[in-house]
């Protein structure tokens, strides 16, 4: 599906036709232009010919069927991945990519290892949600949540991410997913956090922290040189004051690197506000580190909880399908990163 091409075609038509077209795609989730009966036949035929609705993707399911990963091929031959996570409480969360690769090069991250190829357009981001929305529709289900936790750093592609959020959120011509059901995860791009909070104060913010000291964080995440902990925390403090929203701090558990009891205590001290929560993520190995054993994660969690910090623990969904975003496209050699 080439949205840009579609937009170009519809420019020659009255403006309300474009609205009808968007509604047909994102709200009615049509799979064939013939289903868009509000449009005149000649337009439908033209669209069928010049802007087909198909999405070129390959699907892989995890053994437990709780997560499905799609590798979506883009117009220029690059591919991105999107993961659908089916939660037991009926939520269906789509984890979208915002860039092909990532320029930030975090050591524990496969996407980071690939380097950066390009930003995704808004429609390439929306297409990821669309792919699973169409699939779920066949089972009478819906996408209920969207998280920007796939490949790339969303706040370094703000204009496109913003447009995509508008499509995801729009309840007339978009997916109609409420802002509180949309989350953006960032490595700590402070200008981006400020933009997010002023333009979408209802959207959930997650910060990838991963360390309680600048030295270690800088070793794991080179971006820490430009955005050190003090700068991030100051911005988050302002964010919380302004929005009164909770903030989720992501912390990937790396064995003997960032998982000691003193790390936990330092983290607890840093995150002193009641709206600050921590999510401990089990590391999905990329060859550089080892995952922290579950008992040690438990201990770490207990220290945070004792300090009054709400803490969740999450395994990345579908690790058996290499669902840490970035791994599949990379291994299949489809992205020519050198």
Q: Which of 79, 92, 160, 208 binds ligand SAH (CB under 6 A)?
A: 208
Q: Which of 81, 124, 153, 173 binds ligand SF4 (CB under 6 A)?
A: 153
> Residue 117 phi/psi, 5° resolution?
-105, -60
The reply on whether position 104 binds ligand SF4 by CB under 6 A is yes
Give the separation between CA 25 and CA 15, rounded to whole angstroms: 16
Reply yes or no on whether 81 is catalytic.
Answer: yes
CA angle centred on 144, ends 123 and 148, rounded to 5°: 50
Of residues 85, 110, 70, 150, the one with CA closest to residue 283: 110
Mask: binding to ligand SAH, 162-201, rule CB under 6 A, as x and -?
Answer: -----------------------xxx--------------
Which is closer to ligand SAH, CB of 6 or CB of 149?
Answer: 149
**What residues between 184 and 203 interact with ligand SF4 by CB under 6 A?**
187
> Residue 94 phi/psi, 5° resolution?
-105, 130
Q: Which of 52, 105, 176, 201 binds ligand SF4 (CB under 6 A)?
A: 105
Kindly state the tokens that stand for 304: 């945070």
| # residues near ligand SF4 by CB under 6 A | 11
Q: Answer for the pair 166, 125: CB distance below 8 angstroms, yes or no.
A: no
The reply on whether position 116 binds ligand SAH by CB under 6 A is no
Beta bridge partners of 120: none
Give the separation between CA 203 and CA 191, rounded to whole angstroms: 16
Give the separation between CA 46 and CA 280, rounded to whole angstroms: 50
The reply on whether position 39 binds ligand SF4 by CB under 6 A is no
Name the 3-class secondary structure at 85.
Answer: strand
Interacting partner of 303 out of ligand SF4, ligand SAH, none (Cβ under 5 to 8 A depending on kind): none
Residues in contact with ligand SF4 by the rule CB under 6 A:
102, 104-106, 109, 111-112, 152-153, 187, 208
Residues in contact with ligand SAH by the rule CB under 6 A:
102, 108-109, 149, 153, 185-187, 208, 250, 252, 281, 283-284, 286, 316, 324
């Amino acid at each position: 599906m080439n949205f840009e091409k579609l937009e170009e075609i519809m420019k020659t038509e009255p403006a309300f036709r474009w609205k009808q077209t968007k509604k047909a795609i994102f709200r009615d989730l049509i799979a064939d232009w013939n289903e868009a009966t509000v449009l005149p036949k000649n337009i439908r035929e033209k669209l069928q010919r010049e802007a087909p609705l198909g999405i070129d993707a390959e699907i892989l399911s995890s053994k437990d069927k709780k997560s499905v990963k799609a590798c979506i091929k883009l117009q220029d031959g690059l591919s991105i991945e999107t993961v659908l996570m089916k939660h037991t409480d009926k939520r269906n969360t789509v984890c979208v990519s915002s860039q092909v690769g990532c320029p930030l090069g975090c050591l524990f991250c496969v996407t980071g290892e690939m380097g950066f190829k390009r930003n995704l357009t808004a429609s390439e981001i929306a297409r990821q949600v669309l792919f699973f929305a169409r699939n779920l529709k066949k089972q009478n289900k819906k996408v209920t949540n969207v998280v920007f936790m796939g490949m790339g750093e969303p706040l370094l592609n703000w204009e496109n991410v913003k447009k995509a959020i508008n499509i995801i959120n729009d309840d007339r011509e978009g997916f109609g997913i409420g802002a509180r059901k949309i989350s953006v995860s960032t490595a700590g791009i402070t200008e981006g956090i400020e933009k997010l909070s002023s333009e979408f104060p209802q959207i959930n913010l997650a910060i990838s922290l991963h360390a309680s000291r600048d030295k270690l964080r800088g070793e794991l995440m080179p971006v820490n040189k430009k955005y050190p902990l003090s700068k991030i925390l100051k911005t988050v403090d302002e964010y919380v004051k302004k929005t009164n929203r909770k903030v989720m701090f992501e912390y990937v558990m790396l064995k003997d690197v960032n998982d000691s009891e003193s790390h936990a205590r330092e983290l607890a001290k840093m995150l002193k506000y009641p709206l600050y929560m921590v999510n401990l993520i089990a590391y999905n190995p990329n060859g550089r580190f080892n995952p922290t054993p579950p008992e040690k994660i438990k201990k770490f969690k207990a220290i945070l909880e004792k300090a009054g910090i709400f803490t969740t623990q999450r395994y990345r969904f579908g690790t058996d399908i290499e669902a840490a975003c970035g791994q599949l496209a990379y291994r299949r050699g489809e992205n020519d990163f050198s």
